[in-house]
Structure 1
Amino acid sequence: MHNPSQPSLFRIAGLPYFVIAFVARLPFAMMVVGVLTVVVSARESLSLGGLTSAAVGLGTACFGPLLGAAADRFGQRPVLVVLAVANAAALVAFTFVVYSAAVDVFVLLAAFGIGATAPQVAPMSRSRLVTIIADRMPEQNRQRTISGTMAYESAADETVFVFGPFLVGILASAIAPWAPLAIAAILIVVFVGAFGLHPSARAVSKQRNADGSAPSAVGELFRPQLLIVLIGTLGVGLFFGTMLTALTSFMADRGAAEQAGVLYGVMGVGSAILALGVAWLPPRFSMRARWLAFSGILLAGTLLLPFVDSPGAMMVALGIMGAGIGPTLVTQYSFGAARSPLGRSATVMTMLGSAIVVGQSLGAALTGQIAENVGTSTALVLPIIAAAVAFTAGIVNWRLSAIHRRRVD
Structure 2
Amino acid sequence: MTNADAPLIRHTGVSYFPTAFIARLPYAMMVVGVLTLVVAARGSVGLGGLNSAMVGLGAACVGPLIGAAADRFGQRTVVALTGILNGLVLGAFAWVVYSSAPDAAVLALAFVIGATAPQVAPMSRARLVGIIGARVAPGRRERTYERTMAYESAADETVFVFGPFLVGILAAGIAPWAPVVGAGILELVFVTAFALHPTGAARLLGSAGDRPVGPKRELLRPDLVATVVGIFGVGLFFGATLTSLTAFMGDRGAGEQAGLVYGVMGIGSAAFALGVALMPAGFTRRARWIAFASLMLVGTLALPFVGSVGGMVAALAIIGIGVGPTLVTQYAFGGERAPIGRSATVMTILGSAIIVGQSLASAITGELAESVGTGVALWMPAVAAAIVVGAGIANWKLTPARTAAAVPVPAAEELAARAG
TM range (shorter): over 0.9
- Kindly tell me: are residues 210 and 260 of structure 1, through their superposed partners in 2, closer, same or farther at Cα, counting changes over 3 Å? closer
Equivalence map 1:353-392=2 (5 Å): 353-392=351-390
Q: What does residue 417 of structure 2 align with?
A: none
- Kindly tell me: are residues 3 and 326 of structure 1, through their superposed partners in 2, closer, same or farther at Cα, counting changes over 3 Å? farther
Q: Distance in 2 between matches of 1:341 and 1:81?
A: 25
- Kindly tell me: are residues 209 and 80 of structure 1, through their superposed partners in 2, closer, same or farther at Cα, counting changes over 3 Å? closer
Equivalence map 1:127-276=2 (5 Å): 127-202=126-201, 206-209=204-207, 212-276=210-274
Match of 1:277 among 266, 275, 278: 275
Single out whichever of 321-330 and 136-145 deviates more from structure 2: 136-145
Q: What does residue 311 of structure 1 align with?
A: 309
Q: Distance in 2 between matches of 1:166 and 1:210?
A: 39
Q: Distance in 1 between matches of 2:101 and 2:208?
A: 50
Q: Distance in 2 between matches of 1:293 and 1:38?
A: 38
Q: Distance in 2 between matches of 1:175 and 1:380?
A: 30
Is contact 1:58-1:115 (8 Å) kept? yes
Q: Distance in 2 between matches of 1:253 and 1:12?
A: 50
Structure 1 residue 403: Cα displacement: 6.8
Does 2:72 align with 1:60?
no
Give, as a single letter, the amino acid of the residue that structure 1 aligns with 2:126: S
Q: Distance in 1 between matches of 2:345 and 2:90?
A: 24
Q: Distance in 1 between matches of 2:92 and 2:44?
A: 20
Match of 2:331 among 314, 330, 333: 333
Structure 1 residue 125: Cα displacement: 0.3
Does 2:276 align with 1:293?
no
Q: Distance in 1 between matches of 2:123 and 2:137?
A: 22
Q: What does residue 119 of structure 2 align with?
A: 120
Equivalence map 1:94-113=2 (5 Å): 94-113=93-112
Does 2:13 align with 1:8?
no
Q: In structure 1, list runs of 5 or more residues that go unmatched.
A: none
Is contact 2:286-2:396 (8 Å) kept? yes
Is contact 1:208-1:343 (8 Å) kept? no
Q: What does residue 70 of structure 1 align with?
A: 69
Structure 1 residue 404: Cα displacement: 7.7
Q: Distance in 1 between matches of 2:208 and 2:72?
A: 13
Give, as a single letter, the amino acid of the residue that structure 1 aligns with 2:275: G
2:314 match: secondary structure: helix
Q: Distance in 2 between matches of 1:370 and 1:283?
A: 43
Q: Distance in 2 between matches of 1:299 and 1:325?
A: 10
Structure 1 residue 211: Cα displacement: 9.3
- Kindly tell me: are residues 185 and 404 of structure 1, through their superposed partners in 2, closer, same or farther at Cα, counting changes over 3 Å? same
TM-score (norm 2): 0.93
Structure 1 residue 306: Cα displacement: 2.4
1:186 match: secondary structure: helix
Give, as a single letter, the amino acid of the residue that structure 2 aligns with 1:300: V
Over aligned residue pairs, what C-alpha RMSD do you find? 1.7
Structure 1 residue 200: Cα displacement: 0.5
Is contact 1:172-1:179 (8 Å) kept? yes
1:15 match: secondary structure: coil
Q: Distance in 1 between matches of 2:77 and 2:320?
A: 37
- Kindly tell me: are residues 55 and 303 of structure 1, through their superposed partners in 2, closer, same or farther at Cα, counting changes over 3 Å? same
Single out whichever of 144-153 and 117-126 deviates more from structure 2: 144-153
Is contact 2:229-2:391 (8 Å) kept? yes
Give, as a single letter, the amino acid of the residue that structure 1 aligns with 2:371: N
2:189 match: secondary structure: helix
Is contact 2:73-2:207 (8 Å) kept? no
Structure 1 residue 140: Cα displacement: 2.2
- Kindly tell me: are residues 192 and 299 of structure 1, through their superposed partners in 2, closer, same or farther at Cα, counting changes over 3 Å? same
1:171 match: secondary structure: helix
Give, as a single letter, the amino acid of the residue that structure 2 aligns with 1:169: G
Identity between Structure 1 and Structure 2 (%): 60
Q: Deviations over 1:107-152 (max 9, x none)?
A: 0001111000000000100111011111111222222211111111
2:15 match: secondary structure: helix
